[in-house]
Amino acid sequence: MAHLIRHKLSNKLTNAANTVSNKSQAKVSGLFARMGFQAATDEEGLGFAECDDLDYDYRQGMQMDVLQGDEEGGQMEGEGELDGDSHYQRDGTGPRPSSLKTGGSLDENKPKITSWEAGWNVTNAIQGMFVLGLPYAILHGGYLGLFLIIFAAVVCCYTGKILIACLYEENEDGIKERVRDSYVDIANACCAPRFPTLGGHVVNVAQIIELVMTCILYVVVSGNLMYNSFPGFPVSQKAWSVVATAALLPCAFLKNLKAVSKFSFLCTLAHFVINVLVIAYCLSRARDWAWEKVKFYIDVKKFPISIGIIVFSYTSQIFLPSLEGNMQKPSEFHCMMDWTHISACVLKGLFALVAYLTWADATKEVITDNLPSTIRAVVNLFLVSKALLSYPLPFFAAVEVLEKSLFQDGGRALFPDCYGPNGQLKSWGLGLRVGLVVFTMLMAVFVPHFALLMGLTGSLTGAGLCFLLPSLFHLKLQWRNLLWHHVFFDVAIFVIGGICAISGFIHSIEGLIEAYRYNIHD
């Protein structure tokens, strides 16, 4: 009896001590959380490792197979579903698997890319069709426009690096570990614990705007190129945009990008050939180059639009976290960013300067419209083909974000799931896709101004995603590890980016109003 009493007293004392310890730890953790600091436990670190393993397959469209396999094998607890980027947070608010996959099958089967392949992807993003608007930026900026091309390359390279730095935290041994997986994770971590999903919503909205505006620009440039290729046809630019959209309607039925990705290399190669042809033609007229037209004078009203155009041509931060996570050697990421942005800076600067020297004040929004009619039609048809084949990529990405937010957000979605039990797309999901295609057409019809739309997008979302948010997140998450010059660079980029974004947005809107008021086409 005495032994039983002692045993009960011992248990009560032990429980009381554990309770006091847990409450003290909770108070200390809460104090640090209110101060904006977070500390990942070993269990949380394990959870993020699991999320990293699963996220690749989810993003490649194979999440259903993975989840079904987990349910059959009994390797995952709970509901077994991935709720989206907003749940991959360091504070552990989101659902996560309880154990790692046995045998490491996901790690073994997950394909990795080399630094050269990663550089190729970045190059495709920052040296695509939108370089065709850079000579127009030189028209309104002169030598300062050339400097801005260099400055934007340096800043975007730097912000890409610090964005990736925000994915990592040091463990107890001082070793950096990847605890976040995406741009949305970084934003959520910055807003936690008071607003754990606010940052992710802001980033998602910015991504949707940029992706949809990119789709609109592809339709606008297709209508513009076709109209200027066949000026004798009784078809307006708006009508050509409608024809281009009709060719894009099958995008609403896309289930994956396997079919489209087969043409990506050919599209890039064709665009490279077109750039070479334009530069070759410009070099053939080198004797007539108007060097005296390139000045330090800037058009105060038009130059902020040029800033947006240049910034938009460098946007790649959206997919950098995923790209770095799938590299064979993530340590080579910084080197890859250096040579891709240096090469982009050189090629963009030369292309913009040579094209502007050739046509000077007659430079148009899309530089190929300045070519002689004998070769303009051929070059523009290639560009239209590339634009139409490039449209599904941002379109599909925008659809995925919208579907996840509206239909698949883990029971918190506004509408029922748009996919049936066998993976078939339901009517309201198809309606969303068709509506998005029609929306891009309407915007291209009513706002057929390539340079102004490009400048508006670059000022609105490009500056935010490339300048403002990376520097702000870096200061928030890495403050304890930053040297004084890092703080200076981040603050300077934030201030300069904010000024450029506001001025570019205001002047782009004024330019659109002026274009409508006076019926200006170029």
Q: Which residues pair with 169 in a beta bridge?
A: 177
Dump pLDDT digits (tens) for 398-456. Answer: 888 887 777 765 555 566 666 667 767 777 778 888 899 999 999 999 888 888 888 88
**Both tokens of residue 383?**
């560009």
Taking residues 255-262, report their average pLDDT.
63
Dump pLDDT digits (tens) for 260-300. Answer: 565 666 677 777 788 888 899 999 999 989 998 888 877 77
Predicted local distance difference test score (pLDDT) of residue 200: 87
- The DSSP secondary structure of 430-454, one letter per residue, reads HHHHHHHHHHHHHHHHH---HHHHH
Dump pLDDT digits (tens) for 170-223. Answer: 888 888 899 998 899 999 999 988 888 888 889 989 989 989 998 999 999 899
pLDDT at residue 71 greater than cutoff 70: no
Is the separation of the CB atoms in 291 and 357 below 8 Å? Answer: yes
Task: Enumerate the H helices of 41-127 as residue ranges.
Answer: 42-59, 63-73, 105-109, 115-126
The dotted CATH code for 115-518 is 1.20.1740.10
Is the separation of the CB atoms in 204 and 405 below 8 Å? Answer: yes
Split at pLDDT 50, 70, 90, the class of 521 is low
Residue type, 121: N
pLDDT at residue 49 greater than cutoff 70: no
pLDDT at residue 141 greater than cutoff 70: yes
Confidence (pTM): 0.72
CA–CA distances in Å: residue 147 to residues 38, 138, 294, 468: 40, 10, 12, 20
Looking at every residue in the chain, the average pLDDT score rounds to 77
Task: Find out whether the peptide bond into 135 is cis, omega within 30 degrees of 0.
Answer: no
Instruction: Find the angle CA(123)-CA(129)-CA(130) to the nearest 5 degrees.
Output: 95
- From 95, 68, 199, select the one nearest 412 (Cα to Cα): 95
Q: In degrees to the nearest 10, what's the CA dihedral of 58, 204, 308, 375?
A: 40
Split at pLDDT 50, 70, 90, the class of 250 is confident
Greater model confidence, 465 or 400:
465
Taking residues 114-137, report their average pLDDT.
85
Q: Which helix (H) or strand (E) holds 285?
A: none
Is the separation of the CB atoms in 53 and 100 below 8 Å? Answer: yes
- State how far Cα 345 lies from the chain centre: 19
